Every structure is written in structure tokens, then in C-alpha cells.
């Protein structure tokens, strides 16, 4: 049976065969513990870990010593936010974030607030999903210790002006954490020029393995040195204790190397595929609403609402496509996405949204097929919807 066309790369990506080959080699030949330096097995494992550290650093313009390996973006986000909150508790307790952040950020902030440890300011966004920089600057107080904002939204693809946010944070002496999980590998990003103090990324969003990620922690003065979440053997400069996941780390490094090699061409190719999909659907169907910014966005994410069609019903009906709904099922009932809610979409449009996200192995022929298939399916669902005027 032929597998569905995969258009859900914002959720996870297939592992690149080149990454898999490197990981298989490491699983077979580099099984040593990199913390053990008394024999060749440990030293060889450490060598491949350090090479991966270099590859991650080169992708984001960092020093290899500033890369801390974790299990993925959620752990990195928790380490950054909780660790900085505890580190600078004597200086202040105010954290600024945004209503459209990933749940890993929002729920971490809610946890700190629920414990009475921190005061959280979640900034609103405009109808395209961007914050107001003047509002951001006005929200900063003498108690503000951290700004945590994502580079690109995981549901709608909208990007924030990260370099300008970094400048504001630096000007006020506030730490800036950036969740760059959806942007890394799809656009140039340099932690130095963007004045980023901490940056989160995850391997499985860039054709690497699940269970591997990294946190960039700036070393230059004043250092952004969070209090660790885990305590143990002092691995990763004491910031992330535990035996290193050598195959996962090497897979992350290989994925970063491939992204850096592909950066000159891949973003434009993804943009072409996404625009082809959008143009095809808007030509074939009426009452299609774009969710997110039309231009300030990552090249591979397209979130659309189809009037007269429930998003979950459409996603289930598209058996030959792998896509995501823009709604989440909570407590056995369908609720609008918090992102689309922040964009002030009404419930009907929010619940009729679908996220398409293209990737490295998609082809123009697959997009042509997707356009025809989606258009045909939307028309059928609208036809059987008594509330949709035919």
C-alpha cells in the first residue's frame, strides 16, 4: 500500500538517510561512554560528540563550548526558563513571553507563576501573529530578568523580528531566550548578531532523530548560566547531568551539517512548494483564509482555514495526505488552537484550519496531487454540510 504524501514536517521530519548512516556507524563502533577517558572506547565516543558540538555551533554562529546537549526542545526550554528564573531570582522575578508560544514555554511559565515564583507577562499579537516591539519594550520593568520568544511559530509559521528583540533585551540588560525549533535549518540565524543569550533547537525537526536536542548558552559577559534541572555526574558543564546519548547527539550534529550545506537553496525550494500549494488551493476554492503573516514566515508552514469544513473532519478525510489540524482536542471536546485564538479568529474559522508543512523530500508533483485532492475533498465536505450555502 502506498504511503500518504507527508506534509506534516512541522510536527516531525523523516530522518535523512545520511544522518541514519552516521548514527548506525556510531551505534556499532562508538558505544563507549564519552565521560570515560581512560581507554580508547571512551575517548572515541568523546571525539564524535565534540565533532557534533562543533556542527551544531556552526549552524547558529556559536562557540562549541556554548552548546549543551539535551533530550530535545522541551527540556531545553525548561532548562532555559526555570534555570534563568532561579539564577537571577535575587535580581527580579518578571518574565515576558507571548500568547502564541509553544506549550513547552507557556506551561513552564504558568508553573513558575502558580508557585508564586515569577510574574509572567504574555504579550498579545496582531492578526498575523506578530508582537508589537513598542509594547514589548514598555512591558520591561526593573524586575524583568528574561524575555522568552520563539523565532517562528509552530502552527502558523509567523516569524518574530528576532534581531530587534535581541537589541531591546540587550539595551535593558535582560536575558533573551529564543525557541528556534521551527526556524533552525530553514533560514540563516546567528546568535551573536541577534544578541540571543539562550537558544533552543531539536534534532527531529531538522531530519535528525527524536530524543536529541540542544540549548545554546552564551558564555560572553555577562554569562547566561542557568541553574541545572538535573543533578548528577556534572556532564555538559554541569548543566545537564546524565550519560550522553551519543548516537542521538551525533545524529543531531549530522543533521545540522546537512542543514548548513543546504541553506543557500533549501529555503527557496520550500517556499516555492508552499506557495504552489497556497496558490493552487486559492485558485480552486473560495473562502480560504490564510492564518499567519503572508511574508514574515518560515518557508515551509502554511496554515489555512476552509469555511464550511471542520478541520479534523478534513484531516481525517485526506487519507492520502499526512497533515495536522489547527485545533486540539482537550477534555473530550474540540477547542480552538490557542494560537488562532490569539489571532482573534472566530471558533468556526479556528476549527476549520489545517496546517500543511513541506519538507526536504517533497516534490512539485506531490504538491500538484495535494492541491487536486484537497480541493476535491473540501468540495465534498462542503456539499454535505447543511449550514454551508452551495
Give yes or no for a contact between 189 and 226, defined as CB atoms under 8 angstroms apart: no
272/275 Cα distance (integer angstroms): 5
HEC readout, the chain: CCCCEECECCCCCCCCHHHHHHHHHHHHHCCCCCCCCCCHHHHHHHHHHHHHHHHHHHHHCCCHHHEEEECCHHHHHHHHHHHHHHHCCCCCCEEEEECCCCHHHHHHHHHHHHCCCCEEEEECCCCCCCCCHHHHHHHCCCCEEEEEEECECCCCCEECCHHHHHHHHHHCCCEEEEECCCCECCECCCCCCCCCCEEEEEHHHCCCCCCCEEEEECCCCCCCCCCCCCCCCCCHHHCCCCCCCHHHHHHHHHHHHHHHHHCCCHHHHHHHHHHHHHHHHHHHCCCEEEECCCCCECCCEEEEEECCCCHHHHHHHCCCEECEECCEEECCEEECCHHHHHCCCCHHHHCCEEEEECCCCCCHHHHHHHHHHHHHHHHHHHHCCCCCCC
Cell numbers linked to 296: 514574515
Altogether, the residues listed in the chain come to a count of 390
Active site residues: 329
CA dihedral 223, 224, 229, 232 (to 10 degrees): -20
14/25 Cα distance (integer angstroms): 19
Amino acid at each position: 500500500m502506498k504511503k500518504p504524501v507527508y506534509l506534516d514536517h512541522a510536527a516531525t521530519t523523516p530522518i535523512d538517510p545520511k544522518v541514519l548512516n552516521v548514527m548506525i556507524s556510531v551505534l556499532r563502533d562508538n558505544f563507549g561512554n564519552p565521560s570515560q577517558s581512560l581507554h580508547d572506547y571512551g575517548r572515541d565516543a568523546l571525539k564524535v560528540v565534540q565533532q557534533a558540538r562543533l556542527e551544531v555551533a556552526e549552524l547558529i554562529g556559536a562557540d562549541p563550548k556554548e552548546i549543551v546537549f539535551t533530550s530535545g526542545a522541551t527540556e531545553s526550554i525548561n532548562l532555559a526558563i526555570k534555570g534563568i528564573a532561579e539564577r537571577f531570582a535575587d535580581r527580579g522575578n518578571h518574565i515576558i513571553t507571548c500568547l502564541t508560544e509553544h506549550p513547552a514555554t507557556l506551561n513552564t511559565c504558568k508553573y513558575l507563576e502558580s508557585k508564586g515564583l515569577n510574574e509572567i507577562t504574555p504579550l498579545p499579537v496582531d492578526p498575523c501573529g506578530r508582537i508589537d516591539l513598542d509594547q514589548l519594550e514598555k512591558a520591561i520593568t526593573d524586575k524583568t530578568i528574561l524575555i522568552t520568544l520563539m523565532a517562528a511559530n509552530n502552527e502558523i509559521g509567523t516569524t518574530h523580528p528576532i534581531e530587534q528583540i535581541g537589541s531591546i533585551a540587550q539595551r535593558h540588560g535582560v536575558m533573551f531566550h529564543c525557541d528556534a525549533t521551527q526556524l533552525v535549518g530553514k533560514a540563516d540565524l546567528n546568535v551573536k548578531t541577534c544578541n540571543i543569550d539562550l537558544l533552543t533547537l531539536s534534532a527531529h525537526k531538522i531530519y535528525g532523530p527524536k530524543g536529541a536536542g540542544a540549548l545554546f548558552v552564551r558564555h560572553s559577559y555577562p554569562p547566561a548560566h542557568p541553574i541545572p534541572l538535573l543533578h548528577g555526574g556534572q556532564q555538559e558543564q554541569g548543566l545537564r547531568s546524565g550519560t550522553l546519548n551519543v548516537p542521538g547527539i551525533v545524529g543531531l550534529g549530522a543533521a545540522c551539517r546537512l542543514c548548513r550545506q543546504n541553506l543557500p537553496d533549501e529555503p527557496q525550494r520550500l517556499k516555492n512548494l508552499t506557495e504552489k500549494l497556497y496558490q493552487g488551493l486559492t485558485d480552486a476554492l473560495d473562502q480560504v483564509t490564510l492564518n499567519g503573516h503572508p511574508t514574515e514566515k518560515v518557508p515551509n508552514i502554511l496554515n489555512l482555514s476552509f469555511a464550511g469544513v471542520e478541520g479534523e473532519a478534513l484531516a481525517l478525510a485526506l487519507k492520502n495526505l499526512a497533515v495536522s489540524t489547527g485545533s486540539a482536542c482537550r477534555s473530550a471536546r474540540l477547542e480552538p488552537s490557542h494560537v488562532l485564538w490569539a489571532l482573534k479568529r472566530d471558533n468556526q474559522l479556528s476549527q476549520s484550519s489545517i496546517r500543511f508543512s513541506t519538507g526536504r523530500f517533497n516534490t512539485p508533483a506531490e504538491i500538484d496531487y495535494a492541491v487536486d485532492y484537497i480541493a476535491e475533498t473540501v468540495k465534498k465536505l462542503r456539499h454535505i454540510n447543511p449550514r454551508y450555502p452551495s
